[in-house]
Structure 1
Amino acid sequence: MDLLRNRREFLVRVRSSDGAEGIAIPNSMHMIHTYPIFLNRVAPFFVGKDARDLEGLLWELYRHDDNYKYQGLALWVCVAAAEFAVLDLIGKVAGKSLGDLLGGTLRRDIAVYRASGNRGNSPEEEVAYLQEIVAESGAKALKFRLGGRMNKNVDSRPGRTEALIPLVRKTFGAGMTLYADSNSSYDATEAIRIGRLMEEHEYAFYEEPCQFDHLEETKAVADALRIPVAAGEQEFSEDRFLWTIANRGVDVVQPDLHYYGGFIRSMRVARMAHEAGMLCTPHMSGSGLGYLDAAHFASCIPNPVPFTEYKGSADVPISSETSSLKVEAGMIRVPSGPGFGIFVDPSFVRESRKVTTN
């Protein structure tokens, strides 16, 4: 299992003893900081193991050499990077797509929502940007950011949130599905006040209204509002997801495939939520091939929300025989080829250098 780097992007390449190969594009935005954990604590564990035992190996890796002490984004981004590559390898050997490996592809055409990462611009500037990304994608759903991100009820600029919520609805009309993300901006009282405004303008979900690890506050908001509350981007504990589902702490669970440690762990969250009658949507990491990972996940879970996040692609040259890998008329087709169903340009791989801890 090798970690390669080409400029800002990382790749994980895994090879079996009989010459099969899998390759994955990890979350480079965080791998740049966490790669020593991947090289020292994750990749060596997998060498010599049977790839078919992947699900059990994830637990053994967690226990191995006290890796659980590193849990959080630093560990799970590295585990996801390894898992993606092994899944690609297994899929290519078995001749199965990722969705079919994970229980069966249920849908191949995924409706997307375009997401803005802006915060602090004026409401008018944000609306102009949202119009641009809708025009280029044909998306029928949007998400933008509210509040001040972990800023204890202080907005990124005075009055921005209260002006932006009605302005976006007025601009795009009743036919556009709207989501908004506060990124842990509020306490429960303020989150409920903002949520009431979103309800007035018929928003479809309200993401991470309270500080992400304040589960009781988030539940209080979900209990008080009609608008569905979504959260889970920062979560790394299966037991806390279980608590949130069992206690209806949110309405929509939102694991991040990279931050939470991969497809297998995230599928457990989706299936637990499904048993409880709740929906699931993947949070899309803004790095790697996050848009493709999210689409694959939405293709095979039983309970996706109507639209899946799309933020655009990383600077990695890839192609597919079964998908354009582009958003067309608000939809993206999930590749159906073996593994992830994509080909990374061989010259990009050849130009990549092997990463070491030296």
Structure 2
Amino acid sequence: MLSRKHFLRHLAGLPLLAGLGTQATAEAARATELPLWPLPDLTTTFREPVLIRSVELFKTQGQLLLVVTSDRGQRGITQCNDRMQNLTSLLQGLVMKHFVGQDARQLPQLVQNAYSLDSNYKYAGMPLWNCIGTVEIAVWDLLGKVAQKPVHELLGTARRTSYPVYLSSLDRNAPVEQILQQLADTLQQTHTNGVKIKIGGRLKNTPEDDARSVKMLSLARKILGDKVIIYADANGSFSVKDGIRYGKMLEDIGAEIFEEAVNFEDEEGMRAVNKALKKIVLAGGEQDTSLYRFQRLAQTSVYDLLQPDVYYNGGILRTLQVAEIARLAGKTVAPHSPKADPLIAPFWQVAAVCPNLFGLQEYPVAFAARQASWYTPAIRLAADGTMPIPQTPGLGLEYDEGIWKKAEKLC
């Protein structure tokens, strides 16, 4: 079983500024700055400006798709996550204007402008960053298509061309035996060796939720076997006391990751759970969008493993920035990406270059079972149970031109 000792390297305490000399003060100030992902100079890759003519949101195939078009007619596309349907006013009113007419080579600055100009920062949080991140991801697709390179080649040095996965069940309603047996059957079919199970009731833990969770953990090894890697996600369901109780139960069955044991806003509670557990890795961060908070979470033993969502957190570059924050704190990342549809595409690019990507990455059984035909390639595992990272231009997906004929333009 994985030992948590590999994750618990702590940073030395920062010196107090008071009373320090000029050089020491400067060094201390630099130590508190947020690290940046070492992005290669895009103006070297693209000798000429890549001007963004339009940013548009369409509804087609039952999904929202954001399309960025250059002045030469080239397009970058990303599917939007389910949150966007409630955020279109922010996207249109606050975000789009900071990209239209601009040079896509200046993407980091465009992202910063969309946050800081016009007092947009007053809307900071998942709603704003999800809008900014969605545009940023589409711009990366555009840049990759223009350069005829996969996005990860624009981001830095590739470290992997595939990654191992775990199978996740998002189901809290079906009988426990049915969920575990489905996972066991799919493990054999896909030649994978890890699963994630849901415990608690999602920000609640009724007596019924508790009974179900106890049953899940009591049957997990019997149905899945002793060699399968087990991760567990509580979605913030537990009190500190119950978080510790369930953490020890998970340690007893040899589980390796315990995700969001208590409410994600309760840093002290999570830190208390983390301190009480000795073997299992505490993970979280999918709800977070503040880079300063991510730095604090990494440096103060709230989590051992950070899980920023590529869309919620503001896009590919900010996800890699969280990875750099984690790396300097001796921690790892496993970005939140519970999808097997076009929403996985930006995660592929992160996974290709991230030096401190941890363990197995998510592949949800429910999404994998319903592949659509309006994009290629299908999001499927290789024969050895790993997920290949496409080496094609942009984010790695192509869309059927026919989907635009009946598309409804929303903004």
Q: TM-score range by the shorter chain?
A: over 0.9
**Paired amino acid for 1:150:** L
1:168 aligns with 2:168: no
1:346: Cα distance to partner?
0.9
Query: How far is the alpha carbon of 1:101 from its aligned partner?
Result: 1.7
For the residues of structure 1 that align with 2:96 and 2:324, how far apart are their CA atoms? Answer: 28
Partner secondary structure for residue 255 of structure 1: coil
Displacement of 1:244: 0.6
Shift of 1:276: 1.8
Q: Which consecutive residues of structure 2, in runs of 5 or more, have no partner in the other structure?
A: 1-54
Shift, 1:315, TM fit: 4.1
Distance between the aligned counterparts of 1:86 and 1:184, measured in 2? 33
Query: Partners in 2 of 1:136 and 1:95 — Cα distance?
Result: 35
Contact 2:180 2:224 in 1 (8 A): no
How much has 1:68 moved relative to structure 2?
A: 1.7
- Whole-angstrom distance in 2 between the partners of 1:348 and 1:278: 42
What is the DSSP-based 3-state SS (H/G/I as helix, E as strand, rest coil) of the residue aligned with 1:183?
coil
TM-score for the superposition, normalised by structure 1? 0.92
Q: 1:335 aligns with which of 385, 390, 395?
A: 390
1:270 matched to 2:323:
yes
Partner residue in 2 for 1:186: 238
Query: Is 1:16–2:82 an aligned residue pair?
Result: no
Query: Corresponding residue for 1:352?
Result: 407
Amino acid at match of 2:240: A
The answer on whether the counterparts of 2:340 and 2:379 sit within 8 Å (CA) in structure 1 is: no
Structure 2 vs 1, CA of residues 30 and 219 (structure 1 numbering), >3 Å: closer, same or farther?
A: same
1:119-175 CA distance string (max 9 Å, x none): 143321221232344344332111011011111x43553411112113112212222
Amino acid at match of 1:209: A
Deviates more, 1:212-221 or 1:161-170: 161-170
Q: CA deviation at 1:288?
A: 5.5
Q: Does residue 1:261 correspond to 2:314, yes or no?
A: yes
1:36-94: per-residue Cα shift (whole Å, max 9, x none)? 21122111221111111111221111012222222222212211210111001111222
Q: Flag the 1:156–1:62 CA change in 2: closer, same or farther, 3 A.
A: farther
Alignment of 1:48 onto 2:48: no
Q: SS in structure 2 opposite 1:185?
A: coil
Cα shift at 1:285: 4.7
1:1-358 aligned at under 5 Å gives the runs 1-27=55-81, 29-151=82-204, 153-225=205-277, 226-286=279-339, 289-311=342-364, 312=367, 315=372, 317-320=374-377, 325-328=379-382, 329-356=384-411
Residues 249-273 of structure 1: CA distance to partner in whole angstroms, max 9, x if unpaired? 1110000111111111110111111
Q: Bigger shift: 333-342 or 288-297?
A: 288-297
The one-letter code of the counterpart of 2:144 is G
Answer whether contact 1:148 1:155 (CA < 8 A) is retained: no
Looking at structure 1, the residues matched to 103 and 113 of structure 2 have their Cα atoms a distance apart, in angstroms, of 13
* Number of equivalent positions: 351
* Contact 2:340 2:363 (8 Å CA) reproduced: no
Amino acid in structure 2 at the alignment position of 1:318: Y
If you compute each CA radius of gyration, which structure gives the higher value, 1 or 2?
Answer: 2
CA distances 1:313-350 after superposition (whole Å, capped 9, x unpaired): 56462114xxx631133211111112112211111133
Give me the CA root mean square deviation: 1.9
Q: CA deviation at 1:296?
A: 2.8
The question of whether the paired residues in 2 share the 8 Å contact of 1:81 and 1:262 is answered with yes
- Aligned amino acid, residue 10 of structure 1: L
Whole-angstrom CA distance in 2 between matches of 1:103 and 1:340? 15
Percent identity over the alignment is 31
Q: Give, in whole Å, the separation in 1 of the partners of 2:155 and 2:221.
A: 37
In structure 2, relative to structure 1, the CA distance for the partners of 1:292 and 1:144 (3 Å cut) is farther
Shift in Å, 1:16? 1.5
User: What is the TM-score normalised by the length of structure 2?
Assistant: 0.81
For the residue of structure 2 that corresponds to 1:159, the secondary structure is helix
Contact 1:3 1:354 in 2 (8 A): yes
Shift of 1:213: 0.7
Partner secondary structure for residue 379 of structure 2 = coil
Q: Is the 8 A contact 1:138 1:330 kept in 2?
A: yes
Contact 2:144 2:150 in 1 (8 A): yes
C-alpha displacement of 1:232: 0.3
Shift of 1:230: 0.4
Check the 8 A contact 1:258/1:285 in 2, yes or no.
no
- For 2:276 and 2:210, locate their aligned partners in 1 and report how far apart those are by CA, in whole Å: 25
1:18 deviates by 2.8
Q: Is the 8 A contact 1:106 1:300 kept in 2?
A: yes
